Amino acid sequence: MQNNDNSRREDIKTAAKQLFFHFGLTKTSMDEIAQQCNLAKPSLYYYYPSKEAIFNEVVIDEARKFIDKVERKIPSHLQADEKITFFFLSLYQDLKKYAKELSHLPESLYENYPHGRPIIEKINEFIREKIRPLLEEGQKNKVLKIEDQESTLSALVVMTDFLNLEWMRRVDEKEGDKIIERAVEIITNGIRRRNTHA
């Protein structure tokens, strides 16, 4: 039964995603989602209490796939500090491409809803999962000098908070490139172990 429920949830998210990307969240109704996935509306409410709940899961699923893809691109031969730099610059470049691909989407998809913060926190948790092992590797190999791993991790994750599609749409591309490169440079220099004999 659990597998059937999971399969049905995936079908609902796939159908809803098409509607969200075509009409935006505001103009998509639960009726339309139910119709799109050939479900009676009461059956849809069995799986999801609202369209916002579906939207949250769609965004979280997309984010996890996106971040996993960025992680897979990190060359294994790099030192930990270089891997962190690569991760953030690659995250930015891929997000920039993604923003261009989605440039046709309705503005309403980018509106701030009350459920936005939990989504951001979940995405930040995905990023923490990817960066934590890199910090540990850097400390173990004496490439990074970190006094407090948790606050360092939080600082790195905070840097990604403004890296969103709305920011991409607002900032000139060349200016955005310079801002990100400089931000990554400042942060990695801050945690990189200095070559001293002390």
What's the confidence (pLDDT) of residue 195? 54
pLDDT at 61 over 80: yes
DSSP for 35-101, written as a single string? HHTT--HHHHHHH-SSHHHHHHHHHHHHHHHHHHHHHHTS-TTS-HHHHHHHHHHHHHHHHHHHHHH
* Element of type H or E holding 174: helix 173-191
Domain 51-191: which CATH number of 1.10.10.60, 1.10.357.10, 2.30.40.10, 3.40.50.360: 1.10.357.10
26-61 in b/e form (b: 16+ CB < 10 A) is: eebebeebbebbebeeeebeebbeebeebbbbbbbe
What's the confidence (pLDDT) of residue 173? 86
pLDDT at 108 over 60: no
What's the confidence (pLDDT) of residue 140? 93
pLDDT at 112 over 50: no
Q: Give Cα 174 to chain centroid, integer Å.
A: 22
Contact of 160 with 89, CB cutoff 8 Å: no
CATH superfamily of 1-49: Homeodomain-like (1.10.10.60)
User: Which of these ranges, 41-50, 70-79, 164-173, has the smallest mean pLDDT?
Assistant: 164-173
Q: Give Cα 147 to chain centroid, integer Å.
A: 27
User: Which of these ranges, 152-156, 175-179, 192-196, has the smallest mean pLDDT?
Assistant: 192-196
Q: Which residue has the higher pLDDT, 105 or 28?
A: 28
Report domain extents, the chain: 1-49, 51-191
User: Which of these ranges, 104-113, 150-159, 166-175, 185-194, has the smallest mean pLDDT?
Assistant: 104-113
Q: How far apart are CA 41 and CA 168, in angstroms?
A: 36
What's the confidence (pLDDT) of residue 109? 52
Contact of 141 with 81, CB cutoff 8 Å: no
What's the confidence (pLDDT) of residue 188? 85
What's the confidence (pLDDT) of residue 114? 40
Structure tokens belonging to residue 125: 């948790």
- CA 83 to each of CA 110, 174, 179: distance values in angstroms, whole numbers, following the listed order: 31, 23, 19
Q: Which residue has the higher pLDDT, 5 or 126?
A: 126
Q: Give Cα 16 to chain centroid, integer Å.
A: 19
**Average pLDDT score over the chain:** 85
pLDDT at 99 over 80: no
Averaged pLDDT, 141-151? 91
Report which of 13, 112, 125 is spatially closest to residue 59, judged by C-alpha positions: 13
162's torsion region: left (phi>0), alpha (psi -120 to 50) or beta?
alpha
What's the confidence (pLDDT) of residue 67? 93
What's the confidence (pLDDT) of residue 106? 53
